[in-house]
Structure 1
């Protein structure tokens, strides 16, 4: 599969066609969240990938980078997801991924401005025009559409995300070394 980005915006964002069924992904996420609640009051997360020997497979990788094992160790699909649409989703990624999480941003909340050690790859599951991603130093705003495709974001740059809508913003977020 060709992993050349379809387009790039000022070196900050690149779209990669995954061709996922956006509705099937939305349903799979909804069913999973019904079984395993999201945590963290304003930055709700659920781990989809685990590391060998994990004691808390659904939540262990949901903490700050400094408080978890090296993020590249979270590289195995949670066994409970083997017979779900998530297995197809992970098979669609044209490169190795790690520390995959469902990340939800509650209504009228914003993440603190920060930067990550590696770029992140986002697949929007639930979003709206009121849930932008902002590259702070560059004064660039981007909205990740829930279109079944993936978006490489250079989160090594200072950024934040906000949700001014009345519903949850939910993204599948993975770490990757591709295009690092």
Structure 2
């Protein structure tokens, strides 16, 4: 489905039909995760909330952060892993609403992560091997996805809907607002 955001038409974003989750329960589940995630790097305690994985690979040494890295090595372009390897949901989070979301998905995912984008942060323009589904947990109107290289942007609202971004095309994300943006991202296995 093509969406309209502030009058802009795009073929890069689609909504998953028939799935809508309770934004209040999503926010509550996020707080449950924040309360449980351990500090794994005492020298950098904020690391515990950066790209926090809900799924992980078999026998992951750190299930909380196994899904935190990119699929490709930025220097060499070599693939680090296959998305399908992330088929294990964190056992310590199976009592949260995120597990209900995970079980309700109508498509196969690999990495399921909580991704924070702080004020004034921006990702470099890039492409991915797979599409990525987004659900906003906390956001502001100035936290946007940048689509292609033509300046078109899209804001994912906290509406409980799954917004799939065609990340196989050039894209980025930035947060020009004053509050941290937090998205639940789910990389689709294709």
Give the TM-score, by structure 1 length.
Answer: 0.87
Query: Distance in 1 between the 2:99 and 2:161 partners?
Result: 16
Query: Distance in 2 between the 1:121 and 1:176 partners?
Result: 7
User: 1:108-127: per-residue Cα shift (whole Å, max 9, x none)?
Assistant: 11111111111100011111
Matched, 1:33 2:56: no
Q: How far apart are residue 33 of structure 1 and its match?
A: 1.6
Q: What is the match of residue 146 of structure 1?
A: 158
Moved over 4 A (4+): none
C-alpha contact 1:61 1:71 (8 A) present in aligned 2:
no
User: 1:27-54: per-residue Cα shift (whole Å, max 9, x none)?
Assistant: 11122123226628xx921000011111
Q: How far apart are residue 69 of structure 1 and its match?
A: 2.8
Matched, 1:131 2:143: yes
Query: Distance in 2 between the 1:66 and 1:15 partners?
Result: 26
User: 1:92-145: per-residue Cα shift (whole Å, max 9, x none)?
Assistant: 211111111000101111111111111100011111101010013243211011
Give the TM-score, by structure 2 length.
Answer: 0.82
Q: CA RMSD in A?
A: 1.9
- Which residue of 78, 82, 89 corresponds with 1:70? 82
Larger Rg computed on CA atoms: 2
Matched, 1:158 2:164: no
Alignment length (residue pairs): 171
Matched, 1:59 2:71: no
Q: What is the match of residue 24 of structure 2?
A: 23
Q: Secondary structure at the match of 1:104?
A: strand
Q: How far apart are residue 78 of structure 1 and its match?
A: 0.9
